[in-house]
C-alpha cells in the first residue's frame, strides 16, 4: 500500500496513516470567508489529531451557465490562497484547468488538483505533474465520471512518465450514466489503491445532480446535501485514505454548488465520526 509525504508539513497520507482531511470551500468568495472556514476546520482537525489541508478553487471553469460565479481568477485567487497559507500555516489544495496555470499554482499550492472532466487531458496532466514534482507537492487527480477505476492506471503512467517518482493521489467522486445523478462504487476505492497510490473520496461532488438545481430551472448543478456524510462514511469504511469535503457557514447562500455543500457547524461531528470509522477499519 502506498504512502505520500509532504515533508515540509510533516504530513503523510496513505496506508497506516491517520485519515487525511482536504477540506474548505468550493470556490473563493472573499478572504474573510476563506479564513473563517479554514480556521474552524483547522481547530477541529487539530483537536482530532487529523492532518488538514485547506481547499478552495480560484476558478470554477466547468459551469452549467456562462453567468454562473466562477471565482476571483488566477492572480487574485492565488494571492488569496497564499494569504490563507500564511495566516493559518496550513498546506493548500486547489485545482487547475489550463497547462499555463501549472507553475504558478504549484508555487502556492502543496496539492495541485486535476478536475475529473480533465483527467485525460495530456497537456494539462503533463504540465501539472512537472510543476508539482518540481515544487515538491502532491498531484491529486479526480477520477473522471466516465472512467472505470482500473483505467486510472493510464493517468498515473502518463504523469510519472512526465515526472518520475511523482507523488500521486487518486480521488473517487462517482460515475455518471447521463441521468442527472452520480453513482459511487465503493469497490472502486480498493481497485484504485491496487494501482499503487492512496485514494481519497470527494463526498461533496459525489452528491451533485448536474443541471438539476430547481432554483435555477436547471441552469446550475443541484445536489443532495444529506448524502455527503453517507458517502463519506461508506468510503472511509471501504478503505479510503482521506476525505475531500466542502463547507460553508450558510450553504444556501454559497456562490457555487450550494446544494452539495455542508454547513460549517456540521464539520466537527462528521469528522469525529469519520475518524472513528477509519480507526475501526484500520485497527
**Hey, which residues are catalytic here?**
26, 60, 257
Q: C-alpha angle 104/258/18, rounded to 5°?
A: 65
97 has which bridge partners?
none
Beta bridge partners of 176: 182
CA distances from 219 to 63, 65, 114, 211, 216 (A): 9, 6, 24, 6, 5
Question: Are the beta carbons of 260 and 221 closer than 8 angstroms?
Answer: yes
Burial class from Cβ neighbours inside 10 Å (0-12, 13-18, 19+) for residue 222 reads buried
**Beta strand extents in 74-150 (DSSP E only):** 92-95, 111-114, 138-142
Rounded CA gap, 97 and 142, in Å?
13
C-alpha torsion sign, points 48, 186, 241, 169: negative
Amino acid at each position: 500500500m502506498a504512502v505520500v509525504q509532504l515533508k515540509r508539513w510533516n504530513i503523510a497520507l496513505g496506508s497506516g496513516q491517520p485519515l487525511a482531511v482536504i477540506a474548505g470551500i468550493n470556490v473563493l468568495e472573499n478572504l474573510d470567508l476563506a479564513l473563517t472556514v479554514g480556521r474552524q476546520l483547522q481547530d477541529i482537525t487539530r483537536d482530532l489529531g487529523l492532518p488538514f489541508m485547506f481547499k478552495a478553487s480560484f476558478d470554477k471553469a466547468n459551469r452549467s451557465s456562462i453567468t454562473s460565479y466562477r471565482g476571483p481568477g488566477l492572480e487574485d485567487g492565488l494571492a488569496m490562497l497564499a494569504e490563507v497559507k500564511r495566516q493559518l500555516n496550513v498546506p493548500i489544495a486547489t485545482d487547475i484547468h489550463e497547462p499555463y496555470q501549472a507553475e504558478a499554482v504549484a508555487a502556492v499550492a502543496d496539492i495541485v488538483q486535476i478536475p475529473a472532466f480533465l483527467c485525460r487531458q495530456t497537456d494539462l496532466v503533463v504540465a501539472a505533474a512537472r510543476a508539482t514534482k518540481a515544487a515538491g507537492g502532491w498531484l491529486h487527480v479526480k477520477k473522471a465520471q466516465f472512467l472505470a477505476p482500473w483505467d486510472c492506471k493510464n493517468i498515473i503512467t502518463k504523469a510519472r512518465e512526465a515526472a518520475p517518482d511523482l507523488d500521486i493521489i487518486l480521488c473517487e467522486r462517482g460515475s455518471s450514466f447521463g441521468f442527472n445523478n452520480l453513482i459511487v462504487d465503493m469497490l472502486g476505492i480498493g481497485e484504485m489503491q491496487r494501482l499503487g497510490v492512496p485514494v481519497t473520496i470527494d463526498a461533496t461532488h459525489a452528491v451533485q445532480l448536474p443541471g438539476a438545481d430547481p432554483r435555477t430551472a436547471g441552469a446550475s448543478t443541484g445536489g443532495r446535501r444529506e448524502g455527503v456524510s453517507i458517502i463519506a462514511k461508506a468510503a472511509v469504511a471501504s478503505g479510503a485514505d482521506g476525505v475531500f469535503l466542502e463547507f460553508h457557514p450558510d450553504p444556501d447562500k454559497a456562490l457555487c454548488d450550494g446544494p452539495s455543500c455542508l454547513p460549517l457547524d456540521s464539520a466537527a461531528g462528521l469528522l469525529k465520526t469519520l475518524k472513528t470509522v477509519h480507526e475501526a477499519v484500520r485497527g
